Amino acid sequence: MYDPKGNGKQKTVDTVAFTELEPPSHLRGIVHRFLELKTAGTLAEDYRFHALPDACTYLVFDQLDRRIAGVAKLRATSEEFNLGKTFHFFNIRFLPGVWQGGLDQISYGAVDAPYDGELPLLEVNQRLASLEFADSPALLSELVEDLITRKLVAPNPVTQKIFQHLDDIHTVADMAEISDLSARQLQRTLKRTTGFAPHDFLKVLRLQQTLNGKDIWSYADQSHFIHSFRKATGYTPGKYARKFDV
């Protein structure tokens, strides 16, 4: 089962809350989680959020500035964002490959500018103002259903097959065989639907499995694993585990 760890909350900052809620059952082939990230009061120092590569597309809603919302995605390596001393976001994390809209609609990284696109994100952000996060899934699900109608999100049969057979995938060739695609077809499909080349997508899946405590991936040796982990996150596995709570 694909269960991305999309954040690395600093263990030393207890006043930052990261909460996840599951989507309704009929959306679970499209939405991975609804998320909330917020401070309880004003922090003493700016908070740097360590965002892990997870191949997911996000809808981001800034609860402190209702003009700010958008569609965001990460690259194949982690990124750190300065969120300041106070922040409050609601997010929808889509599963990899389900976003069908153009990649030109996506901002890579954090969303920090007023939204001027055609989606009803600002209207939804205004309606979220009166809701606690626990009461938000119905409204967020309504938005997802609207995006389905617009054909902007849809289940991805290729990534679904990959997630269903993670234990059997060790190479890009394995991924292509399980997807019933040639290597070239897999390259085109993943690049179009996830923005990732197959080898980068495989790196992300490997990282997610190690963060979930699953030793199912065959690295050449321990030093190779440490090098790959540090390249993706900027930290060795030991330093990451001491600094962040995933």
- Find where tokens 């992300």 sit: 204
Give me the sheet containing 16-21, strands edge to edge: 16-21, 31-39, 88-94, 57-62, 69-73, 107-108
The winner for highest mean pLDDT among 10-19, 81-90, 163-172 is 81-90
* DSSP-assigned letter for residue 224: H
**Hey, how many other C-beta atoms are within 10 angstroms of the C-beta on 236?**
13
Residues 6 or more apart in contact with residue 24 via CB below 8 angstroms = 137, 141
What mean pLDDT is predicted for residues 37-42? 93
pLDDT band at 44 (very low <50, low <70, confident <90, very high): very high
CA distance 166 to 216: 9
Task: Give the CA angle between residues 148, 189, 81 to the nearest 5°.
Answer: 70
Which pTM value belongs to this model?
Answer: 0.87
pLDDT at 192 exceeding the cut of 90: no
Residue type, 84: G
Detail the DSSP E strand segments found in the chain.
Answer: 7-10, 16-21, 31-39, 47-51, 57-62, 69-73, 79-84, 88-94, 107-108, 244-245
CA distance 23 to 165: 23
pLDDT for residue 194: 85
pLDDT for residue 216: 45
Residues 6 or more apart in contact with residue 8 via CB below 8 angstroms = 49, 50, 51, 52, 78, 233, 240, 243, 244, 245, 246
pLDDT band at 166 (very low <50, low <70, confident <90, very high): confident
CA distance 93 to 60: 9
Q: Tell me what percent of the residues of the chain surpass a pLDDT of 90.
A: 52
pLDDT for residue 223: 73
What mean pLDDT is predicted for residues 119-125? 97
- Of residues 50, 28, 1, the one with CA closest to residue 205: 1
pLDDT at 167 exceeding the cut of 90: no
